[in-house]
Structure 1
């Protein structure tokens, strides 16, 4: 029986397409005249991209403004809690417990 391969989902097609474009871009830019072709395509497509991006910009800005205070508060709470300092002190204490002889002796240069 032949092996049955399931149909690719839209997300798989998009990811594989983006990977293909990304991997081919350096070779495309090595071709002669690539910068001129890229500039002409940018002039052609940029107005459409600008119109389409406005559909996403406003909702994204609103969601960022909604979430930003909560994230800022969490970051302040995390940094003011002294988590990093406690972790550093605990790590130093554990190193001193495990290797007391090596830390007590000053390093000497071989003669």
Structure 2
């Protein structure tokens, strides 16, 4: 049975076949492979975390867009109401001016 740096029964931390200590350097390259696998796992976890953060950021951005759309709609309705009131006031002012002119003519 080939040992891949695992402690199967030989001296602690030594290869069963040759007695090599894989923590120093592994003659089969297993230590390097294990370190690379560990690094790949760390990078994969890091990428997954970044993807989740990106998705959350997208959701936050979408929420902001909808909030801005709601604000714009509210502002548009307020502008329409202001324009309607302005038109009403101008019409009233015109009626008042006409009444004043008629009153001046009848005096």
Q: TM-score, normalised by structure 2?
A: 0.26
Q: With structure 1 as the length reference, what TM-score do the two structures score?
A: 0.25
Structure of greater relative contact order (alpha carbons < 8 Å, 6+ residues apart): 2
Choose between structure 1 and 2: higher helix proportion: 1
